[in-house]
Structure 1
Amino acid sequence: MDAGTALPSLAAKTNDAAARRPFSLAARAALTTGLVLAAFLGAIGWTLSRTYNASELNKLQGRLHDYVITYIAGTDARRDGTPLMPDTPPDPMFSRPGSGLYAVVLGDGFHWESSSALGRDFSFLHPLQPGQSQFIGPVDTELGRLYYYSFGVALDVPDRPSVHLTFTVAQTEDELESNTTVYRRSLVGWLATLGVMLIVLQLLLLRWSLTPLRKVASDMSRVERGQSDHLDSQYPIELTGLTGRINAFIDSEREQRTRYRNTLADLAHSLKTPLAVIRSQVEASELPSPVRAPVLDQVRRMDELVAYQLARAATTGRQTFAAAAVPIAGHAEDLVQSLEKVYAAKNVLCEFDIEDGAAFYGEQGDLLELMGNLLENAFKWAGHHVLLVVKVQRQPGRPRAGLLFSVEDDGPGIEEDKVEKVLQRGVRGDERVKGHGIGLSIVQDIVRAYNGELTVDRSPEFGGARFSVALPPT
C-alpha cells in the first residue's frame, strides 16, 4: 500500500489547511511596510514634482519678464509718436524663425513682431493698460502650447500724447516639458532606488527582530521530536513569560500522563488478581458442571473485558511533546524473536522491510501493542511466511514524519465481507484458534488515538491477509 492510497483524505485535509494558511508575521510586516513606503514615496514624489513644476514656471515667468523689460528699455518713440524698436534682440532665438521664442508689440495702429514670429498668428493677444501685466499658459495655438508674459506701458512723446503699447514675449512649453520630464525620470529613479534600499533594510531589521520567535519555533520542534525536554531559557524579556508557561505545561502534561498510566497499572493488578482467584476456586470446586461452566464463562468474559478496557485506556495516543522518538527496528526484532518461540511448532519465517531511521513518535507501550498484536495475529494464521514492512512518510513543514505499517501472511486471509466483523471487539476469525478476540480492536483504538487509519485486504505477495496502518505526519 503506497502513501497515496493510504493517506488520501489526510493529504487533502493538509492541502486545504495549507491553502487557508494566513500570512506569516514577517510577510504581513513586509507587505504593510511596502505599502506604506510606496504611499509615502509616492506622496513625496508627487510633492517634489509639483514643487519643481511650480519652480520652473516661476523661472519661465521671470525669464519672459526680463525679456519684456529689455525690449521696453530699448524702445524709443519718434517725434511723430511711432515706436522705434531696438535693433538687437535680447536673445538670438528671437531672430530665428520658428525658434519657439517670440516677441510681439501691440499699440494703437501699431503691430511689431520679432523675426521668429513673422507669419505667425497672434490674434489671441490683447492690449493691456499701462502698468498692467499678466502671465498666461499654457495656451493652445497653431504654434503649439504657449506660455506668454504681457506688460502694458505708456511711452512719453514730446509735445504729443503718450503712446500706449503692450509688450508680449511668448515661449512654447517644449523646453519646460523637457526639463520637467528629465526631472521626473531622475526623481522616479532615485525614489525607486531609495525605496528598494529601505525595503531591504526593513527586511533585514525584521529578520533580526523575529529571530527570537524563530528560535522559539525551532526549540518547540525539537521538543516535539523528542530531541529536547524543554524550551531554552535564553529569550528576550518579552518572551520569557510565554516560554516559561510552555515549559510548565510540558512538565504538567508529562506528569499527568505518568500518573495516569501508573494508576491504570495499579487498577489492572487490583482487578486481575481477584479474577484469577475466582477462576481457580471455581475450577477446583466440586460444583456440578451445569453450574460451574456458566460461572467460568462469565469470569472469562470479565477477564477479557477488563483486559480490553485497560489496554484501551492505557493507550496514550498522539502526543504534542514526545519524550523521544522510539526506533522501530530493534523492538520489531525483539517481538518477532518472542513470537518465533511461542509458535516454534509452525516454523514461521518472518521477513523485515524496515526503512532506515524509521521511528515512532509516541509511547513505547503503544508501539509494542500495535506491532505485537498485528504480528501475533499474522503468526497465528500464517502457514510459514510473515512480512513486516515499515515506511517513512515525510511531509514538508511537519516536524515528525508519518509511518506506514504493513503486516502480511500466507494464511487463509479474510473475506472482504468479514473484515468489519473480525475487527469487532471479542470476535475471533476462527473459534478454534485461541485468543480473546480483542487484539485487533486494541490496534484500532491505538490507530484512532494517533489519527491514523487501519485497512485490511489480501496480500498480493503471499495471498493471505494484509493489515496496513497509516499514521500521518504531525
Structure 2
Amino acid sequence: MRVKSLTLRVLLLATVWSTVALLTIALAISALYRQSVERGFNSLLRAQLYNVVNSVSIDDDAGLIGSPSLGDLRFSQPLTGWYWLVEPLGNFSAAPLASTSLGTNNLDVPALVQQPFDQNYERFYEATDTAGNRIRIVETEIVLDEEGRAARFRVSGNLEVVEEEISFFTTRLNLALLVVGVGGLMINGLAIIYGLKPLDRARRGLERIRRGEAERIEGDFPSEIQPLANEINALIESNRRLVERARMQVGNLAHSLKTPIAVLLNEARTLGKTQGEVVTSQAQAMQAQVTSYLNRARIAAQRDSVLARADLLPVLERLTRVMRKLNTETEFVLDVSPDLVLAMEQQDIEEVVGNLLENAARFARTRVVTRAAYTQPPDPSQEGRKGWVEVLVEDDGPGLAPDEIGEALKRGRRLDESKPGTGLGLSIVKEIAVEYQGSFELSRAELGGLRARLVLPAVTKDTA
C-alpha cells in the first residue's frame, strides 16, 4: 500500500534507515569489542604461562620442581576452568606438575596438524574440561637444562569470563543505541513536522481562496515552497484574466446584438398585425437564443475556475423574498443548510433557481417548498472529484404526467398556453445545469404538483 502522507513516508524511511544503521553499528562494535576482549584474555593467559615457565625447573634428582604463584585463587579451587600443567617431554620421565584446581585430571592435547605452533612457538586452542567448562588453553614447549630435557607448559582460562564481559558490554551498548535511535526518530519527527509547516500554511492560503476570503496566497515561504506559491498565484491570476476576457467578449457580443434586435422589435410594430406578430415572436426567440448561448459560453469559460463560488442560502432567501412579494397568496417554504457553497457564479444560481421558483409559483395552488442538501454526484465517474448539492423545488399544483415531462423540457414548448411565459425557462435551467456537469429532472412531488430536482457542483472542505 502506498503511504500518502509525506510525514509518514519520511518517518518510515528514517525508521528503516536508522534501524539498519544502528543494527550495523551494534554488530560492528560488538565484533570489535569481542576481538579486543579475546586479545586481552589471550594476553592474560600468555603472561600466566610465562609466570609458570619462570617458576618451574629441574632438581638434582631429575624431577620437576616449582610452585608458581599466579595471584588468582581460581587456580587453587577445583574445576574452575583455570588450570596450569607442566608435563615432561621425550625421554624426560619426571612426574608432571599441576595446579590444585586441576587435581588428577588432565587436559586434552590436539595434534599439531590441527593446531600448529605460531612463530613464537605458542599455540592457542579451546577444549571442554571434565566439569563442562569451555576453556581456552595456551601452550608452549621449553628446554629446561643443558642436557636438552624439555617440558610442555599449558595454562587455561574459563571462557565464561569472556562471554560475561561481552554480554555486559553488548547489553549496555544496545540500550544506548536504542535510546539514540528512539531519540533520533523523535527529533526527526519534530524536524519533519516543523519543516512541513510552510506547506500547511500554503494549504490554509488555498482554503482562504476557496472560501472567497482571499484572491492569492500570501506569506513568506521557504525557498523550496515559494516557487510553488508563486506558480499557484500565477495560475489564479491567469484564470482570473481568462474569466474576465470571456465576460468582456460576452458583454461585447451582447451589446453588439442588442441594438439590431431592438430595431427589429421596433420595426415589427410598424408592420401589420400578422407580419408584426411573426417578426416580434422571431426577434424575441432570437433574443432568448442569443442570451442562452452567451450564458453557455460564459459558463464554459468559468466552469473550472477556482473563483466561481457563491453561498446558496443568501441567494435562495433573496429569491424567495421576491417571490413572496409577487405571489402574496402562495406560501414559500425554505429548508436549506447555511453551509452550502456552490461552485457556480451567483447569477447562474439566480437564473436556474429563479426560473424554477417562477414556474412553481405560476402553477402552485397554495404552497411552494424549496430544499437543498449535499448529495451524490449525478454520474458515478465523478465520485470524489467535487462535492454536490441537491436543490428541490416542489409545488402543490396540478403537476405533469410522465409523457408531458419530456415535452416541457423542449426549448420554446409551452404545455399551458393560458399562463404567461416563453417556454424557455426549463430548457435554460437544464442547459445551465449540464454546462456545470450537473443534472436536472422533473417528477411528481409529494405535495401533488411538480418536483424539480437540480444537482449542482459544490465546494466542501473535503474537496478544497
- State TM-score, norm by structure 1: 0.80
- How far residue 149 of structure 1 moved from its aligned partner, in angstroms, is 1.5
Q: 1:389 aligns with which of 371, 375, 379?
A: 371
Q: Does 1:135 align with 2:130?
A: no
CA contact (8 A) 1:390 1:404 kept: yes
Find the partner of 1:329 among 296, 303, 313. 313
Instruction: For 2:48, give the aligned amino acid.
Output: Y
Change (3 A) 1:385 1:85: farther
Note if contact 2:268-2:277 (Cα within 8 Å) is conserved in structure 1.
Answer: no
Alpha-carbon distance in 1 for matches of 2:427, 2:105: 104
1:38 CA drift (Å): 2.8
Secondary structure in 1 matching 2:4: coil
Which whole-Å CA distance do the structure 2 matches of 1:192 and 1:460 have between them?
69
Change (3 A) 1:240 1:216: same
**After superposition, what is the alpha-carbon deviation per residue over 1:209-245, rounded to whole angstroms, capped at 9, x for unaligned?**
3333332222122122211122225334554444344
Is 1:117 matched with 2:102?
yes
Q: Does 1:174 align with 2:160?
A: yes
Distance 1:226 1:390 in 2: 21
In the alignment, which residue of structure 2 is the partner of 1:82? 63
| Partner amino acid, structure 1, of 2:100 | S
Tell me the equivalent position of 1:150. 139
Post-superposition Cα deviations, 1:104-126, rounded to whole Å, max 9, x if no partner, equal: 33332555443333465633445
- Please give the alpha-carbon distance, in whole angstroms, between the structure 2 residues aligned to 1:243 and 1:403: 31
From 269, 290, 293, the counterpart of 1:309: 293
- Which residue of the partner structure matches residue 339 of structure 1? 323
Deviations along 1:260-315, whole A, 9 cap, x unmatched? 2132133224324433433453454237x5x7776555445433322321222232
What letter matches 2:190 in structure 1?
Answer: L
Mark the CA change 1:447 to 1:82 in structure 2 (over 3 Å): closer, same or farther. Answer: farther
Native 8 Å contact 2:438 2:454 kept in 1? no
Equivalent residue, structure 2, for 1:7? none
Distance 1:39 1:119 in 2: 52
Match of 2:251 among 242, 265, 277: 265
Identity %: 26
Distance 1:375 1:200 in 2: 60
Deviations 1:417-448 (A, max 9, x none): 66566445445565665444443343344444
- Where does the alignment leave 5 or more consecutive residues of structure 1 unmatched? 1-18
Residue range with higher mean Cα deviation, 50-59 or 423-432: 423-432
CA distance, structure 1, for counterparts of residue 303 and residue 103 of structure 2: 96
In the alignment, the residues of structure 2 paired with residue 284 and residue 69 of structure 1 have an alpha-carbon distance, to the nearest angstrom, of 139
SS where residue 144 of structure 2 aligns?
strand
Quote the Cα distance in structure 1 between the aligned partners of 2:448 and 2:82: 101
Secondary structure of the residue aligned to 1:123 is coil
Match of 2:50 in 1: 69
Q: CA deviation at 1:187?
A: 0.9
| TM-score between both structures, scaled by the size of structure 2 | 0.81
State the number of aligned residues: 443
Q: Distance in 1 between matches of 2:49 and 2:401?
A: 110
* Structure 2 portions without partners, runs of 5+: 377-383
Residues 162-210 of structure 1 deviation map (CA, whole Å, 9 limit, x = unaligned): 3322222223322222221221121111111112222222233333333
Query: What do residues 53-92 of structure 1 show as CA deviations (whole Å, max 9, x unaligned)?
Result: 1111011111111221222222122224322241755421
The answer to whether the 8 Å contact 1:41/1:195 transfers is yes
1:304-355 deviation line (CA, Å, top 9, x unaligned): 32232122223265454327x63333322321233334445xx221111122
Give the stretch that moved more between structures: 270-279 or 177-186. 270-279
* Other-structure match for 1:15: none
Alignment of 1:228-239 (within 5 A): 228-239=214-225
| C-alpha spacing 1:44/1:333, structure 2 compared with 1 (3 Å) | same
The one of 216, 233, 252 aligned to 1:247? 233
Task: Provide the rounded CA distance (Å) in 1 between the counterparts of 2:153 and 2:289.
Answer: 116
User: What one-letter code is carried by the residue in structure 1 that aligns with 2:336?
Assistant: I
For the pair 1:442 / 2:423, whether they are aligned, the reply is no
Matched residue, 1:33: 14
